[in-house]
Amino acid sequence: MAIGLAGWAIVLGVVLAYQGLCLVANGDRWPAASEVIRDVMRYPVGRWVLFGLWLWLGWHLFVRGWRFFLRG
């Protein structure tokens, strides 16, 4: 299990490092995730998909199989 967790730590570290690089770099050549999401939000379909995914995540994690006081 340690190897699997280390793998995730490495992958997430690379992603965050790439995001940091894109935030520091100028121009469109290295777009940060926030810039991509901002562009996607310009399209109505993009806003619908992002909001739908956000709804799904909240429902899946916190609401699905809801019991009183959120006991799943």
Partner 1 sequence: MDLARSAGGAGTTGWVGILRHDVAPVLAAWLVLVCGLVAYGRRGRARRRPAPPPTGHPWRALGSLLAGGYVVFLMIVVVFYFVLGARDRSLIWQALGQGSLLTFGMVLPAFVVLSWAQARLFRRRNPQGTRTGTLSDSDRATST
Where does this chain bind partner 1 (CB under 8 A)? 28, 31, 35-56, 58-59, 63-64, 66
- Provide, rounded to whole angstroms, the least separation between the CB of residue 31 and partner 1: 6
62: its two tokens? 């916190």
- Provide, rounded to whole angstroms, the least separation between the CB of residue 38 and partner 1: 6
CB closer to partner 1, 2 vs 61: 61
50: its two tokens? 């992002």
In angstroms, the CA 50 to CA 53 distance is 5
CB within 8 A of 64, min separation 6: which ones?
72
- Provide, rounded to whole angstroms, the least separation between the CB of residue 47 and partner 1: 5
